[in-house]
Chains A and B, each alone.
Chain A
């Protein structure tokens, strides 16, 4: 089939013809237009195409997913983006570690009392 009947969401958004070898088509299907909107807003179609082109085929899907995820988080939080999520996770880890220390100290008290 020489002509694609359905354009990918990227080509649809960019109002261009979606070629058979469109590098974005496998990762930005027409069924999820919002995904490309976020990615284009944050990274730009050209940058994403370039990034994907530099990767081997078997790594492009994962890269597209991680790029989409970062773009999504940046749209949600324009100031911190994914870095905010990382910070929150680090803080949660710190809180849980502190709680664990506290609980183990309490257990140690009970253990000492039972000796």
Chain B
């Protein structure tokens, strides 16, 4: 009887050793999400395609801000081809929020909106000048450059005074979305978060003109 028990014990050990060796040779490492959540990364894990194990910080940020269960719900509501973009934008938002817990991404919006308005003002002035030249108005004294701007040619539909003016709502035409947000924070200098992309190039390009 004792020998039978020993045999069973050895058999169990052999099975476990065998499965461990199989798992070490055949199994893929868990995705960053499952690793952080300390759970088994099953085939078909919804996080696995988007949170590879070599970038643990990406999921750590997203989990801290949104929570894994909310991310799961969000991804489940999307079609598979949309999920990668969604995850990347969520990771972007989460990172921005980690860097700036008060303003997050919204700080970048404020900076960009001001830039848009500044450019629109420049465009209006340039168009006015061009019109003068086109109509053969020569020898324009410099004081005339301070004529009031033409009517709004802004594609943003922002209009005068709608940025930083405390308007509760304004429309951003390019995005097509109303922006229900008070501008009380709009004049902040706190946000030093630069969104990915070529903001620096844009600033440089603008200065070069």
* CB–CB A65/B185 < 8 A: yes
Per the bound structure, the CA–CA distance linking A114 and B136 in Å amounts to 10
Instruction: Name the residue of chain B whose CB is nearest to the CB of A61.
Output: B184
Given contacts A62-B184, A63-B101, contact A82 B113 (CB under 8 A): no
Kindly list chain A residues whose C-beta atoms are within 8 Å of the C-beta of B107: 66
Interface of B is mostly: helix
Per the bound structure, the CA–CA distance linking A112 and B120 in Å amounts to 25
Given contacts A86-B105, A96-B116, contact A65 B181 (CB under 8 A): yes
Per the bound structure, the CA–CA distance linking A74 and B93 in Å amounts to 10
Per the bound structure, the CA–CA distance linking A65 and B180 in Å amounts to 10
Q: Which of B66, B119, B155 contacts A42 (CB 8 A)?
A: B66
Given contacts A62-B103, A93-B202, contact A111 B116 (CB under 8 A): no
* CB–CB B66/A47 < 8 A: yes
Kindly list chain A residues whose C-beta atoms are within 8 Å of the C-beta of B138: 114
B121 → chain A closest CB, angstroms: 10
Q: Which of B74, B89, B134 contacts A84 (CB 8 A)?
A: B89
Interface of A is mostly: helix
10 closest A-B pairs (Cβ-Cβ)?
A110-B133, A83-B89, A89-B112, A66-B106, A96-B119, A88-B174, A88-B175, A103-B126, A92-B174, A63-B102
Q: Given A41-B70, A78-B78, A111-B133, 16 other A-B contacts at CB below 8 A?
A: A46-B67, A55-B101, A62-B103, A81-B93, A82-B93, A84-B175, A85-B172, A86-B108, A87-B197, A88-B175, A89-B174, A90-B198, A91-B174, A92-B155, A104-B209, A110-B134
